[in-house]
Amino acid sequence: MEDAEWECTVEAPVNIALVKYWGKRDSELILPYNDSVSLTLDEEKLGTRTTVRYSASYEEDSLVLNGKPTVISSRLSNVIEEIRRAFRKHAVRIKMNAQDLMSMSRYRFRIETNNKMPTAAGLASSASGMACITFALCTALGITESVDMSQLARLGSGSACRSIHGGLVQWEAGKEEDGSDSLAKQIYPASTWPELKFIVLVVDGEKKKVGSTEGMQRSMATSEYMLLRPKQCKDRIQEVCWAFQAKLFPALAEVIIKDSNTLHAICRDSYPPVNYLTRTSEALIDFVHRLNEALGDVCVAYTFDAGPNCFVIFEEKHESLLMWLLLHTFIENDVIDPTIHRQPKWDDDELAKYTAIIDEFSNYRNSVKSYYETTVGSGPKVVNAPRLI
Amino acid sequence: MEDAEWECTVEAPVNIALVKYWGKRDSELILPYNDSVSLTLDEEKLGTRTTVRYSASYEEDSLVLNGKPTVISSRLSNVIEEIRRAFRKHAVRIKMNAQDLMSMSRYRFRIETNNKMPTAAGLASSASGMACITFALCTALGITESVDMSQLARLGSGSACRSIHGGLVQWEAGKEEDGSDSLAKQIYPASTWPELKFIVLVVDGEKKKVGSTEGMQRSMATSEYMLLRPKQCKDRIQEVCWAFQAKLFPALAEVIIKDSNTLHAICRDSYPPVNYLTRTSEALIDFVHRLNEALGDVCVAYTFDAGPNCFVIFEEKHESLLMWLLLHTFIENDVIDPTIHRQPKWDDDELAKYTAIIDEFSNYRNSVKSYYETTVGSGPKVVNAPRLI
């Protein structure tokens, strides 16, 4: 048994914060300053796949990230050690037989993890990546049900904790110093609102000058707006949950837009100021407000994390209109598939109205190099259960 | 005497807020939501000149603005009526003889006012304009000493009240409903810190989509950051006054930069968000932080009002370096006068350091179309005292 090698494969999705996490109350344990809430995306397009091979005969843990051997960071190392500790507790609790316990305690992991979208491009690959590795290791050790995986993933990357669940997910900041109450929980499953759609618009930016960890520190140290943030987030999360339950898109959209703007307002208010948005990002903001004005209601929402990419959220019924407009304003021509996107049938008034919008943003033609369409997803999944190899 | 015509000419300067006015507690009386503090510029380059002709024989008030006959706005009309009312009170108080009182009460004004810089280009021409007309009319009626001209000018354009005084000026929001305690006062005269210099960089922007009155209303209605603003401004004004008294430029500069960023953060946090800055404005922000980093201290400050133009503030000792860098990064070549601006003498280290900055901002070459260099000024002045014509 000592030389036995095992393998399992899992996938975990990206999540998009609707009320944002910004600022840490403890940077070692990655305990956030405020509550946040997110939607977990379908992992098919925006997610991570991780295969773990493990054996008591391996000498050390190792990591291959997107095909490249990579040093295990101290944060990931924390996650792995915490998972081992959690396993030992679990083994004692279930009175595991001594031989299994000894063997499994000596497991070392060969982690191979691949993001389905560009890494470090502001597409939350660190969230799905850390969630995926956590889920893979817990699956390997058979402890997915007996631990809180959101707490373990959080140690690797704060927002990763929200990718452990599907649907609408809340991460409570918690109050305990050891982080024991800083957990992510599902509020509503993905099936609650299947008509929700996302387009992720990849906006070319220079490499971020200020990473999000550094940005958060600056905001905590210098922006007075942070004083209002914990209460503001609690209120906004309530609004999100209420709008989600009632499936009232305009109410949901308004909170999403406001909280995205607040995040970037706080960045601007930090010293020195931080700006994650490009001219194209700003034009996309204007475009969405302009379109909502034309539609007479807040039918489309945008949100930006600490980067220039735009996450557009809407209901299925507005998909063909929105896609057509985006394809004729921002999205580069050669990534368009004309068999999928046909011009919606418009009467003369609509034609005039929407052509005006296309004309207004003509300066931004081809400014978006690629895009992903996706939906709400139901969280991490096991692709191949643990098996001997 | 009835047909006698009089004339006087005055000038009033632009002022630049260091801690900004944003939001009204009463929009009719233009009573601000928070205290603000400003520096009055020298009126030679950035100011307004107003000539008033007046006679009891004229039938009505009239206005010629920058050479064009212009309808008197309701705000300006308020100012004129309040000045007439103030004159009558004054006349009673000094027991003016009846004939003079009757004659002067019937005066109508032909106001001719010219801005020395482009109007409505975000160069605070409304502040100097309203201050100048107020000062001209009060000069005409001989009441400059017996009224608070800052209160009268405020009715025409909020920030105009600060242009009534020279040097460092504080506008107290006040608490009274009738605005009787919402006054601008000089804190320190211009002579306190003659080494202070300004460069105003005129950044081409599209015409403002959202005027400042509309922007303020949105912020008052939607940005929670406004809740912190009154207290924040009081604290920052104290810091400004302290730094000014001690002539500690880095301390002054940090407050100036922070408050400018806060204003634009609040704009972004408003719903729908408002953005007054262009890509060039943002690059100028980065440039100043980059230069301060190279200098090892906050030797240069920037501030932006509700527009894209950049007001750069610094001490004379940094003038040649700063001008050279600006001329080789942002300012359009053909507005440079090579006889004035020579390259400072740099050793090899300095050369490398400053050349790197010039290279970093090479994308923004010629993005600033014009600029004004100026200093702190001592407030409105009478160019020609009232005389019979």
Could you tell me the two tokens for A159?
Answer: 């927002």
Please tell me if residue A266 touches chain B, with a CB cutoff of 8 Å.
yes
**Inter-chain CB proximity A273 and B285 less than 8 Å:** yes
Please tell me which residue of chain B has the smallest CA distance to A236: B224
Nearest CA to B314 among B332, B331, B296, B298?
A: B298
Burial degree of A383 (CB within 10 A; 0-12, 13-18, 19+)? middle
Could you tell me the two tokens for B121?
Answer: 């280009």
CB contacts < 8 Å between A and B, how many?
61
Q: Contact B143/B90 with Cβ under 8 angstroms?
A: yes
- Read off φ and ψ for residue B69, nearest 5 degrees: -55, 130
- Residue in A268, A272, A279 closest to B268 by CB: A268
Query: Which residues on adjacent β-strands are paired with residue A315?
Result: A196
* E strands, B73-143, in order: 108-115
Instruction: Please give the radius of gyration of chain B, using alpha carbons only, rounded to the nearest integer.
Output: 22
What DSSP element (H or E) covers B243? helix B229-246
Beta-carbon contacts of A21 under 8 Å, excluding residues fewer than 6 positions away, are A32, A34, A36, A158, A159, A171
Q: Contact B92/B105 with Cβ under 8 angstroms?
A: no
User: What are chain A's domains?
Assistant: 5-191 (3.30.230.10), 196-375 (3.30.70.890)
- The confidence band for A344, taking pLDDT boundaries of 50, 70 and 90, is confident
With 90 as the cut, is the pLDDT of residue B387 above it?
yes
> What's CA B38's distance to the chain center, in Å?
8
Beta-carbon contacts of A237 under 8 Å, excluding residues fewer than 6 positions away, are A19, A35, A36, A37, A170
Q: Which of residues 285-314 of B touch A (CB under 8 A)?
A: 285, 289
What pLDDT score was predicted for residue A190?
96
> Average pLDDT, whole number, for chain B?
93
Distance, CA of B78 to CA of A135 (rounded, Å): 70
pLDDT digits (tens, 9 = 90+) for A334-343: 666 656 667 7
Beta-carbon contacts of B102 under 8 Å, excluding residues fewer than 6 positions away, are none
What pLDDT score was predicted for residue B123?
77
**Inter-chain CB proximity A265 and B261 less than 8 Å:** no
Find the mean pLDDT for residues A52-74: 96
Distance, CA of A126 to CA of A113 (rounded, Å): 11
Q: Looking at the complex, report in whole angstroms how far the Cα of residue A193 sits from the nearest Cα belonging to chain B.
A: 26
What pLDDT score was predicted for residue B51?
98
With 80 as the cut, is the pLDDT of residue A118 above it?
no
Query: What residues of A are in contact with residue B275 (Cβ under 8 Å)?
Result: 282
ipTM: 0.93
Q: Which of residues 206-225 of A touch B (CB under 8 A)?
A: 222-225
Query: What residues of A are in contact with residue B261 (Cβ under 8 Å)?
Result: 268-271, 273
pLDDT digits (tens, 9 = 90+) for B106-139: 999 999 999 988 766 677 788 999 999 999 999 9
- The confidence band for A309, taking pLDDT boundaries of 50, 70 and 90, is very high
Determine the Cα angle at A161 with ends A8 and A284, to 5°.
Answer: 110
Query: Which residues on adjacent β-strands are paired with residue A9?
Result: A51, A384
What number of CA atoms fall less than 13 Å from residue A58's CA on the CB side?
19
Q: Contact A8/A158 with Cβ under 8 angstroms?
A: no
Beta-carbon contacts of B372 under 8 Å, excluding residues fewer than 6 positions away, are B45, B46, B117, B198, B199, B200, B202
Query: What residues of A are in contact with residue B258 (Cβ under 8 Å)?
Result: 222, 269, 271
Pairing of strands B36-40, A36-40: unpaired
Could you tell me the two tokens for A35?
Answer: 């509550």
Please tell me which residue of chain B has the smallest CA distance to A280: B279
- Residue in A228, A265, A272 closest to B265 by CB: A265
With 70 as the cut, is the pLDDT of residue B374 above it?
yes
Query: What residues of B are in contact with residue A224 (Cβ under 8 Å)?
Result: 228, 232, 262
With 60 as the cut, is the pLDDT of residue B1 above it?
no
pLDDT digits (tens, 9 = 90+) for B273-321: 999 999 999 999 999 999 999 999 999 999 999 999 999 999 999 999 9
Determine the Cα angle at A266 with ends A265 and A272, to 5°.
Answer: 105
With 60 as the cut, is the pLDDT of residue B362 above it?
yes
With 80 as the cut, is the pLDDT of residue B254 above it?
yes
Please tell me which residue of chain B has the smallest CA distance to A232: B224
With 60 as the cut, is the pLDDT of residue A1 above it?
no
Query: What residues of A are in contact with residue B282 (Cβ under 8 Å)?
Result: 275
In the block, residue with structure tokens 């040097």:
B167
Burial degree of A68 (CB within 10 A; 0-12, 13-18, 19+)? exposed
Distance, CA of B23 to CA of B226 (rounded, Å): 8
**Inter-chain CB proximity B225 and A265 less than 8 Å:** yes
Please tell me if residue A268 touches chain B, with a CB cutoff of 8 Å.
yes
What pLDDT score was predicted for residue A339?
64
Q: Contact A245/A188 with Cβ under 8 angstroms?
A: yes
Distance, CA of A75 to CA of A72 (rounded, Å): 8
- Residue in A269, A270, A285 closest to B273 by CB: A285
With 90 as the cut, is the pLDDT of residue B340 above it?
no
> Average pLDDT, whole number, for chain A?
93
Say what angle helices A229-246 and A249-269 make with each other, to 10 degrees: 160
Please tell me if residue B362 touches chain A, with a CB cutoff of 8 Å.
no
Beta-carbon contacts of B183 under 8 Å, excluding residues fewer than 6 positions away, are B148, B150, B151, B161, B171, B172, B174
Find the mean pLDDT for residues A182-204: 95
Instruction: Please give the radius of gyration of chain A, using alpha carbons only, rounded to the nearest integer.
Output: 22
With 60 as the cut, is the pLDDT of residue A150 above it?
yes
Distance, CA of A344 to CA of B1 (rounded, Å): 77
- The confidence band for A119, taking pLDDT boundaries of 50, 70 and 90, is low
Per-residue 3-state assignment (H helix, E strand, C coil) for chain A:
CCCCEEEEEEEEECEEEEECCCCEEECCCCEECCCEEEEEECCCCCEEEEEEEEECCCCCCEEEECCEEECCCHHHHHHHHHHHHHHHHHHHHCCCCHHHHHHHHCCEEEEEEEECCCCCCCCCHHHHHHHHHHHHHHHHCCCCCCCCHHHHHHCCCHHHHHHHCCCEEEECCCCCCCCCCCCEEEEECHHHCCCEEEEEEEECCCCCCCCHHHHHHHHHHHCHHHHHHHHHHHHHHHHHHHHHHHCCHHHHHHHHHHHHHHHHHHHHHCCCCCCCCCHHHHHHHHHHHHHHHHHCCCCEEEECCCCCCEEEEEEHHHHHHHHHHHHHHCECHHHCCCCCCCCCCCCHHHHHHHHHHHHHCHHHCCCEEEEEEEEECCCCEEEEEEEEC
Nearest CA to A134 among A203, A84, A73?
A: A84
What pLDDT score was predicted for residue B187?
98
> What's CA B243's distance to the chain center, in Å?
20
pLDDT digits (tens, 9 = 90+) for B54-99: 999 999 999 999 999 999 999 999 999 999 999 999 999 999 999 9
Find the mean pLDDT for residues A274-296: 96
Find the mean pLDDT for residues A88-100: 94
Distance, CA of B86 to CA of B76 (rounded, Å): 15
With 70 as the cut, is the pLDDT of residue A382 above it?
yes
End-to-end Cα spacing for chain A: 12
Could you tell me the two tokens for B51?
Answer: 């000539």
Determine the Cα angle at A18 with ends A307 and A194, to 5°.
Answer: 115
